[in-house]
Every structure is written in C-alpha cells, then in structure tokens.
Structure 1
C-alpha cells in the first residue's frame, strides 16, 4: 500500500453545521469515534477559512504531536541515506520542528524567505485545477489532520506529514520550487482536460515520485516517496526508466499501492531540461503529439 496514496476522505458539511469526514471501512480510524470527531473538527476549521485571512491555528494534542515526532524520527535516517542532496539541503534550510506538528502559518513563515512559497489550508481534496492553479501562484494547499495514532508510519490518505515533510521540504529548494510553480503555470495555460491530465501525470512521476542518480546511486526527490516510511525502502527495487515525457503521460499507475514504475533523472539539470521545459511549453495540442510519439515508439519496437 502506498503510504501516502491520494485517497482524500470525502467531507460533508451538514445543515446543522456539523462537518463529517467519511473514512473508509479499512481506515485505521474508522471505528474510533474520537478520531472521527477530531477529523471533523479540523476539517471544519479549514472550511470556515477565507483566503487572505490568517490560517486557522490547530491546537494539536500530545498524541498528535507524538505521531509527528515518531514519523519525523523514523524518516530522518532514511532521508540521510536515500534522499537526494538537493532535498536534504532544503530540509536543513527549512528546519521544521521534529518534536511537534508545525502550524501551516509557521511553515509559510519559514518557507517564504527561501523560495516565496506559502501554504493554505484544505479540509481534504482540492479540485485539480484549483490545486494546480494555486501552485502557479506559489501557494500549496495542505491538509492539517494527522494519521491515526495506532499507525504513525502509515496513512491511506495525504495528511500533514505528507504535505509538509514531503512537499514543504521539497519546496524549500529553489530549483524544485521553480519546477512545481512551472507545473502550476502550465495548468493555467491549458484548456482541455486531456492536457491537464498530462500535466498531472508528469507531475506525479516527477515531483511526487521522482528519483535521480547522484554519484552513481539512486536517490529520491519526490515528495510521495520522501514522506512514506515504506516507500523509502521500496523505491530502489522498482522498475527504473529514463525520463520520457510520452511514457510518463501514458504509463498506467495505481495510486493505492507502491509505484512499480519510476522515472529517473540523471541530474538536476536533466530534470529541468526535460520536465521543466515540458511544463513551460505544454499546450492543448501536447496530448496529440504525445500520442503520436508513443505510437512511433511502439512501431519501432
């Protein structure tokens, strides 16, 4: 199971003002009434938030801070060995607390001087075009809840550990931040759903699940890998392919399991030359060009 799978639990705001988060039956917190109530409380704070006003402060409990502490402590040695040096340098510069959950306003205050990015709160899933459009304005929509305390190293949905340990540390790198912003700007430029899907697919296989060679070793730079305890051990055993935009846009993937196919950049320069240039040039005709390139490649084999 991909520990940070993009399975946001649906959120309902009832007529009486009560906010309910609909956890799946296999969610670790499904039978925990206190946890379900807490998820609703945190989601309600995000739903009530108005952009441009201070992000709601969540008074995290000792148990929630402990989940963050455990995840931070367990991920740190894996990062030291398996994360790309660009991520490690950015993580050191951001210097997030390891013993407590940071407020999103605190993440913004640390991040903005480094790369100009800020965080916004979200109750759960953000519509695709809204999420990517905000990236183009250097704003990252993040959840504020934590995974169930019974499984501090596993979550079936993106929680604040994924959104911040994975993405905020990544966004503290000027080069990774520019790539993420380029993906957002690309989404504002295209009109068709097909072009939007291509952008999201390439983002998935790069900024979420990208790997890169560094001094002959395979390293992770994607936020989905770097925030997942299990994925940090598994990624080096997957099928590793060279960067190929047509393949990244056409390979099927399952968001609920470890990624069996990963695309590897040989360097940061290559990542920018291939993925960065794609984000800067993609348009509504790109899906047709990608389909044609894919067909030619299949014919040549």
Structure 2
C-alpha cells in the first residue's frame, strides 16, 4: 500500500505565487532555475479554468532535448520488453519523439482511438478525483519535465511518464477499457479504503503490470515502460500470479524498483481477473477479498 501524496512534490499558492516544494533528494532541489520553471508550469495548471481549452506550455529547447533523449533511449527497450498490445497502441498513437507534445495534441491523437482525453494538473491530484475521472475517460497529467541532469530518472511522475507511459497504453482499446473500469469502480465507492484498494490493484496492473506472451515475460504497465532502468530489472524480480488479495494489501516502496510483480497469463486473463474485479467492485468487495488471505500466525 502507498500514500498517493508520495507521488508528487506538494504545490501551494502563497503571497509569492505558486510554489512546488521539491524534496532535498530531488535532482533539481539546488537548481534555482529549475525550481522557478517548475513553479511557472505549475501556476499555469493552477490558474487553468477547466471550462476552457487545456493550456499549452512553451517548452524550451533544453526541455525538448530531455524528451528526445528519453524517447530515443526507451524505443529499443520497448521493442524488446513491451507487450505487443502496448507496441501496437504506441504505433497507432504516433507521439512525436523529437519534442514534447502539448496535452491538447495528445488528446487530439488519443481521443479518436479510445475516447480518452488529457487535462492539466499542477502536481498531486487527490486519489478519488484522479481515479474517479478515469470513468469519464479523463486523465490528469502534469506538464513539467524531469531535471536535465538525469534525463533517464525521475523521483515523481512527469509529462514523460504520464504521456509516454500512460498515453501509449491508453491508445489500446483493451487497456483503455480496464482503466475506465477502475475509474467507474472508484466513482461507485463510498469508503476511502475501497478507493485505496482499487488504487493498489491498479498500481500492480496498469502501472507495474507484466504479462506472459509466447513464453516471455513482457511489460505493459506504464510505470515500467516509462522507466529506462526498470525495464532492465523487472524480469529479475519476484514474479507472482495475479492475486487480488495480495495486490490490494501488499506494502511497497514507490521510490525503488518494485521487488514483487504480478503476471497475467495473457491479456484475456488480465481482463477476466482484474477487469471483472473493477466491473463488480463495491464497498464490500475488498473485505471479502482480504478474508481470503491466510491468517497471520
């Protein structure tokens, strides 16, 4: 289980304007220009009126270079490690690899494929709001990029994770259906612990899911497929079969490579187990699932 607030640097508005509070271990913590840029981009999302078009960001050449570097380095790893469903969706979406796409551009290419659209977020989106919006096929995304000193690493989801990881995944009608189903389950939930259970199952599937394909363990989770290092490591982790009780209750650290992953036997199997869970989940479901866990000795 994780607390979603760990995923983003907090964003506040004070007398001096919008501020992104980076942790001391963040690569950009001691870079005043980067911190000012993060504040600037966050302010655009904070000030955005959702009844108006999603705001564009005028990205700098250095920011485009970060996107291009990550795109170039991830491409051969995708060909080697990504599940064919993700690769087909990536090809259909056709994101630019030499520059950062605007969220409006991502939506224009993604919406005709699966109906998903992107909206701007300054940073942390409350758990229920983020997952609940997926029911309307709406994905909240940040617009900033990771620090240029470490283009292949980020301690928090940036636009590279949200777009290269998730938009490519959401261009698959089957992955999009699973994502929307998670959102619909969240919208039905009245209990916060139900939402947390749903978020944790989502974490071990749509974020860090792996799947067998022709006898080879492939990745389909956005967290793996947007991480240069994680793609080299995931097959060496402890691989368990899909287990809703374990996925909904296992403690894990989002700041490190995931030591335990859950593998679907196929995309049909993923839909049968996880899709059925999302479709039928109500506030009593997590308790019934937890009851199947072995009693603690």
**TM-score normalized by the length of structure 1:** 0.95
- Cα distance, 1:207 vs. partner? 0.2
Counterpart check, 1:216 vs 2:208: no
- Aligned ranges for residues 265-280 of structure 1 at < 5 Å? 265-280=264-279
Residues 155-199 of structure 1, C-alpha deviations (whole Å, 9 max, x = no match): 111000000000000000000000000000000111111211110
- Cα distance, 1:7 vs. partner? 2.6
In the other structure, the counterpart of 1:92 is 91
Tell me the distance in 2 between the aligned counterparts of 1:250 and 1:20: 34
Residues 216-249 of structure 1, C-alpha deviations (whole Å, 9 max, x = no match): 0000000000000010101000000001111111
- Aligned ranges for residues 27-176 of structure 1 at < 5 Å? 27-176=26-175
Residues 79-113 of structure 1, C-alpha deviations (whole Å, 9 max, x = no match): 00000000000000000000000000000000000
Number of aligned residue pairs: give it: 293
- Cα distance, 1:293 vs. partner? 0.6
- Cα distance, 1:6 vs. partner? 5.4
- When the two chains are superposed, the root-mean-square deviation of aligned CA atoms in Å is 1.2
- Cα distance, 1:261 vs. partner? 0.4
Tell me the distance in 1 between the aligned counterparts of 2:51 and 2:94: 25
Counterpart check, 1:203 vs 2:236: no
Counterpart check, 1:11 vs 2:11: yes
Residues 191-215 of structure 1, C-alpha deviations (whole Å, 9 max, x = no match): 1112111101100000000000000
My pick for the range that moved more, 38-47 or 243-252, is 243-252
User: Is the partner of 1:50 in helix, strand or coil?
Assistant: coil
Tell me the distance in 1 between the aligned counterparts of 2:290 and 2:170: 31
**TM-score normalized by the length of structure 2:** 0.97
User: Is the partner of 1:12 in helix, strand or coil?
Assistant: strand
Tell me the distance in 1 between the aligned counterparts of 2:20 and 2:290: 39
Tell me the distance in 2 between the aligned counterparts of 1:197 and 1:130: 12
1:104 and 1:119 in contact (8 A); partners too: yes
Structure 2: 5+ residue stretches without partners: none
1:6 and 1:158 in contact (8 A); partners too: no
Tell me the distance in 1 between the aligned counterparts of 2:213 and 2:287: 34
Residues 9-54 of structure 1, C-alpha deviations (whole Å, 9 max, x = no match): 11111134x1111111111111111110000000000001111311
Tell me the distance in 2 between the aligned counterparts of 1:44 and 1:123: 7
User: Is the partner of 1:30 in helix, strand or coil?
Assistant: coil
Tell me the distance in 2 between the aligned counterparts of 1:291 and 1:170: 29
- Cα distance, 1:287 vs. partner? 2.1
Tell me the distance in 1 between the aligned counterparts of 2:258 and 2:90: 24
Tell me the distance in 2 between the aligned counterparts of 1:156 and 1:288: 32
Tell me the distance in 2 between the aligned counterparts of 1:277 and 1:52: 34
Structure 1: which 4+ aligned runs deviate by more than 4 Å?
Answer: none
